[in-house]
Amino acid sequence: MYRTKTCGELRLLNVGEEVVLAGWVQKARKMGGMTFVDVRDRYGISQVVFNQDVNVTLCEEANKLGREFVVRVTGKVQERSSKNSHIPTGDIEIIASDLKVLNVAATPPFTIEDETDGGDDIRMKYRYLDLRRNVVRQNLELRHKMTLEVRSYLDSLNFLEVETPVLISSTPEGARDFLVPSRMNPGQFYALPQSPQTFKQLLMVSGFDRYFQIVKCFRDEDLRADRQPEFTQIDCEMSFVDQEDVLTTFEGMTKHLFKTIRGVDVETPFKRMTWHEAMKLYGSDKPDLRFGMEFVELMDVLKGHGFSVFDDAAYIGGICAEGAASYTRKQLDALTDFVKRPQIGAKGMVYARVEEDGTVKSSVDKFYTQDVLQEMKSAFDAKPGDLILILSGDNAMKTRKQLCELRLEIASQLGLRDKNKFACLWVVDFPLFEWSEEDQRFYAMHHPFTSPKSEDIPLLDSDPGAVRANAYDMVINGVEVGGGSIRIHDSALQNKMFELLGFTPERAQAQFGFLMNAFKYGAPPHGGLAYGLDRWVSLFTGLDSIRDCIAFPKNNSGRDVMIDAPSTIDPEQLEELSIKVEVKE
């Protein structure tokens, strides 16, 4: 028998028991005639004691143990004289009577501890070792618990889990597909699904009125901290529902997850905000509402006073950071450098302090009287000790996005982005279309199956850009954790949507004819939502990146450095697939 107990379950009530443990050597230390070995498994750590006065040979064997050796230890549990309050097993130790080395181990390239000395690259190369660390293992345990709770909650609401195909046809709209060549159909390719979108709609046509799936999805796009080429969605669809039904259902699920996973009660109903309001007040369609600092437009106040930067601007806006007037010139210069970074693109920043006597001291004082500065202060309802930061530009949308980055940066500096505080929000009424100047055409902001607001349908012919979508995103702490829409279920309206997106009837039929044909046989009103499981887990664990919430993630170049993928393919395989590779310089 390899073990009778795990390394994390022994307590004082086990004193006197003969036990067998198996695991990895966390560390070994010799103190006089005693050797202490910490043995670790998935469940915890137990201290094992080898006494030279009792068994010299056994103690000598223990002294040969290296880090990460795999061992089996037999011994009797006793109460520790020097207890360790930092671990659950810290009240006991095991007096060893037998030791067997099950496998020796090379010295690992980094320490297998919570605070490791391994950088990201080396830990990704040896991910199987990184997974032994408590902090990473706990992320995956939380992920497991979350999927159990999701399945249990949705099952209680009569949702049925249905698997959809992984090898599908390519849909060039949106992100790039990962393509898979077909050997049996030379010159033709499958695509890996970016989403099970069309299949879950077909399930609604089939009468499966409540579907869900915890499903792998794939997008060939540039990576960021919250993106991977393959990711996991909690994908859901419902029939005979409107937007309110979907929001209520998934507010309930969100509340349940917060309670069961984090022990937090979140208030429902969640705050709702239109897309236009979010962009105007926060410069983002996923605003972080853990703190204030809403944008205030200052065109009427600051324009026309001889300061050419503002006089020539199409937009002037600012934020007020409460109690931040103590910022030094060095700190303000650093904020200016921050907004001037190429990835943000502002040309500069103006600041103003509200002094203790209520007067305003600005970096552009020579252009503005105190009366004008007081008017600006009133626009923010600023108080003594507050700091006002202002940006301007020739494009309102672009400048608001720059101001959004500034808002998030100073909030981080002021400690306002508490990871143990949660602000939940629905962003609704997105534009149905977004216009591409480069292509001179409309694209679907979400996807071509999103329904327009019924009252906006007449605008499809006269002003498509003004049409609002029956779409919604759930945003928590500035992270989009899920989104969805009410779908088009009418063939004529769907054809109109394809027409506005530049599809010829032949192209629409070739790509989506199977769905349109299905609609002819009675499609119910339906809608749904997909949560990003990886983002949910990173939110609950307080991580800024989703990588440590995935067992075997890719790096920022989309590579798995552990297995060295992607890799080249043997010429024989390429020939069998009728593929010739020509790599561009």
pLDDT digits 0-9 by tens, 91-102: 999 999 999 999
Q: Is the pLDDT of residue 436 over 90?
A: no
Please, where are the H alpha helices in 178-274? 197-205, 243-257
Could you give the CA distance from residue 468 to residue 459 in angstroms, rounded to a whole number?
10
Confidence of residue 398 (pLDDT cuts 50, 70, 90): very high
Q: Does residue 226 register a pLDDT over 80? A: no
Average pLDDT over residues 107-132: 93
Does the pLDDT of residue 508 top 80, yes or no? yes
Q: How confident is the model at residue 524 (pLDDT cuts 50, 70, 90)?
A: very high
The CATH number of the domain holding residue 301 is 3.30.1360.30
For residue 32, give the CATH number of its domain.
2.40.50.140
Q: Domain of residue 98: give its range.
A: 12-103
State whether 69 and 92 are in the same domain.
Answer: yes
Q: Which two tokens stand for residue 133?
A: 């660390």
Distance between CA 214 and CA 292 in Å, rounded?
A: 35
Using a 10 angstrom Cβ sphere, with 0-12 exposed, 13-18 middle and 19 or more buried, the burial of residue 522 is exposed
Instruction: Determine which helix (DSSP H) or strand (DSSP E) holds 149, and give its type and residue range.
Output: helix 134-156
Integer Cα distance of 180 and 165 in angstroms: 13
With respect to residue 190, please indicate whether it lies within any of the assigned structural domains.
yes
349 in any annotated domain: yes
* Cα angle for residues 366, 369, 370 (degrees, 5° grid): 120
Place of tokens 């200052």: 298
Q: pLDDT digit string (tens) for 191-213? A: 999 999 999 999 999 999 999 99
Distances (CA, A) of 477 to 287, 397, 412, 502, 535: 7, 22, 12, 37, 11
Question: Region 3-24: what's the mean pLDDT?
Answer: 97
Q: What percent of the chain has pLDDT over 90?
A: 88
pLDDT recorded at residue 177: 93
If asked whether residues 409 and 382 sit together in one domain, one would say: yes
Same domain, 404 and 449: no
Q: Which among 381, 413, 445 is the end of a domain?
A: 413
pLDDT at 341 over 70: yes
179-181 and 315-321 beta bridge pairing: unpaired
**Domain count of the fold of the chain:** 3
Q: Is the predicted pLDDT of residue 352 greater than 70, yes or no?
A: yes
pLDDT one-digit tens code per residue, 174-189: 678 999 999 999 999 9
For residue 332, name the pLDDT band (cuts at 50, 70, 90).
Answer: very high
pLDDT digits (tens, 9 = 90+) for 297-312: 999 999 999 999 999 9
Q: What's the angle, vertex CA 154, arms to CA 152 and CA 538, rounded to 5?
A: 80
Greatest CA separation found in the chain?
A: 93
pLDDT in tens, 526-553: 999 999 999 999 999 999 889 889 999 9
pLDDT for residue 172: 63
Both 307 and 352 in one domain: the answer is: yes
The per-residue pLDDT for 585 is 76
pLDDT at 439: 82
- pLDDT score, position 62: 96
Distance CA 242, CA 260 (A): 28
pLDDT reported for residue 22: 98
* Same-domain pairing of 409 and 428: no
What is the model's pLDDT at position 564? Answer: 93
Q: Tokens for 301?
A: 């106040």
Asked if residue 564 is part of any domain, the answer here is no
Asked which of 413, 447, 468 is the last residue of a domain, the reply is 413
Q: What is the pLDDT of residue 173?
A: 61
Question: pLDDT tens, 53-71?
Answer: 999 999 999 999 999 999 9
Whether residue 401 is found in the same domain as residue 308: yes
Distance CA 215, CA 194 (A): 10
Mean pLDDT of the chain: 94
- Is 306 among the domain residues? yes
What pLDDT is stored for residue 118 in this prediction? 86
The pLDDT value given to residue 15: 97
Triad 93, 96, 99: Cα angle to 5°:
130
Mean pLDDT for 4-20 is: 97
